[in-house]
């Protein structure tokens, strides 16, 4: 369907959400306090607030905000739970149980999150129905995505380094853009159009002036973000595969892992990571099969029966992570498995910075040693 754009005033945003909760379990952004405050080394005055997504019915309406940039949690948490039962040995009820879940509506996700879903879709939906993950598929199909423009960015944000804009143009049902005393609301799917049709009294067609105003705001954010990223000197996406492969024997992997404490923060907060472990657990007279998130930076990720471990050293695991993101995925779907959200930078207690590693790999390949 052709996307339509409307204006929604500030005082009607809760009415918009109230309509959505009739059909969905709605999550909305609220501010939260965290100890994670990374200052910009290049003199930019950037916001340091953090946002989390909470269930609409569980928050005071005064707490709901329009988040300037992506929330703390990656969007994949709504489609692929950290730990969930995927089967029982002596029962066939698991998928039927999942069908009873109320579909989720997620407000406050950003274009980096939308990009990351391309990776998750590739892994869990594939190209062949024989290998589709039914849990992921159902949640993904049923969900209502309410994305939003980024009128600001954190120090760790680097989406534009990979030509990902801080606003959405596809992959959402609704998109909200802050404009003066309200929002421009893009309606981009049949299920969004159904909701919009039921609240026509709240929506007025966007004017050319409002659309031009949004374009100007978007351009201003891009200019500021590009200026900020120019100081970080992050390699372009076109050379990512080349520099990672060329740096296979680089000392960078060894140096960077000196401060790694294997907390797993980077892999569990990553928007594009997707590895999991299947384990069994006794439950009464039955045995459950559980799917639990796993990650390639953890020591036992490749450990097999007999004790063998193909990635027994930390530098090997870091290198493997970059090969997966910037070689495997580029080979298989044509783009990198990194959306530039910067969550791995924010969460790392060892101050390991993906931007720095990519820049150093580029320098090693292209700049002469001094």
Q: What percent of the chain has pLDDT over 90?
A: 82
Residue 223: the pLDDT is 97
Q: What is the mean pLDDT of residues 215-222?
A: 97
Q: What is the mean pLDDT of residues 245-257?
A: 96
Give the total residue count for the chain.
370
Q: Does 100 have pLDDT greater than 90? A: no
CA–CA separation, 268 vs 272, rounded Å?
Answer: 10
Q: Which two tokens stand for residue 264?
A: 């797993």
Q: At a CB cut-off of 8 Å and minimum separation 6, what does 241 contact? A: 326, 327, 330, 331, 336
CA–CA separation, 263 vs 94, rounded Å?
Answer: 31
Q: What is the mean pLDDT of residues 255-280?
A: 94
Residue 315: the pLDDT is 95
* 33 band by pLDDT with thresholds 50, 70 and 90: confident
Residue 97: the pLDDT is 55
Q: At a CB cut-off of 8 Å and minimum separation 6, what does 259 contact? A: 350, 351, 352
Q: What is the mean pLDDT of residues 336-361?
A: 96
Please state whether the predicted TM-score (pTM) of the whole model is above 0.85.
Answer: yes
């Amino acid at each position: 369907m052709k996307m339509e754009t409307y204006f929604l005033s500030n005082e009607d945003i809760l009415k918009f959400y109230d309509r959505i909760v009739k059909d969905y379990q709605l999550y909305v952004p609220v501010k939260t306090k965290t100890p994670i405050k990374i200052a910009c080394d290049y003199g930019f005055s950037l916001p340091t607030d953090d946002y989390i997504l909470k269930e609409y019915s569980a928050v005071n309406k005064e707490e709901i905000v329009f988040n300037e940039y992506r929330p703390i949690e990656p969007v994949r948490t709504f489609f692929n739970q950290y730990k969930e039962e995927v089967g029982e040995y002596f029962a066939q009820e698991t998928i039927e149980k999942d069908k009873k879940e109320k579909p989720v509506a997620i407000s406050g996700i950003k274009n980096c999150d939308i990009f990351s879903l391309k990776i998750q879709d590739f892994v869990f939906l594939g190209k062949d129905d024989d290998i589709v993950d039914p849990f992921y598929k159902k949640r993904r199909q049923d969900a209502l995505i309410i994305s939003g423009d980024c009128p600001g960015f954190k120090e760790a944000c680097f989406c534009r380094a990979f030509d990902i804009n801080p606003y959405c143009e596809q992959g959402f049902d609704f998109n909200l853009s802050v404009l003066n005393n309200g929002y421009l609301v893009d309606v981009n799917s049949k299920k969004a159009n159904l909701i919009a049709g039921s609240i026509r009294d709240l929506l007025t067609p966007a004017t050319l002036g409002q659309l031009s105003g949004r374009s100007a705001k978007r351009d201003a954010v891009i200019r500021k973000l590009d200026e900020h990223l120019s100081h970080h000197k992050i390699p372009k996406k076109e050379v990512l595969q080349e520099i990672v492969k060329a740096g296979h024997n680089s000392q960078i992997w060894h140096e960077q892992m000196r401060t790694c404490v294997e907390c797993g923060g980077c892999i569990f907060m990553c928007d594009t990571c997707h590895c999991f472990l299947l384990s069994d657990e006794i439950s009464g007279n039955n045995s459950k099969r559980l799917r639990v998130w796993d990650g390639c930076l953890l020591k036992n990720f490749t450990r097999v029966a007999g004790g063998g471990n193909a990635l027994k050293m930390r530098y090997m695991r870091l290198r493997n992570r970059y090969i997966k993101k910037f070689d495997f995925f580029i080979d298989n779907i044509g783009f990198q498995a990194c959306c530039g959200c910067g969550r791995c930078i924010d969460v790392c207690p060892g101050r390991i910075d993906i931007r720095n590693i990519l820049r150093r790999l580029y320098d090693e390949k292209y700049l002469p040693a001094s």
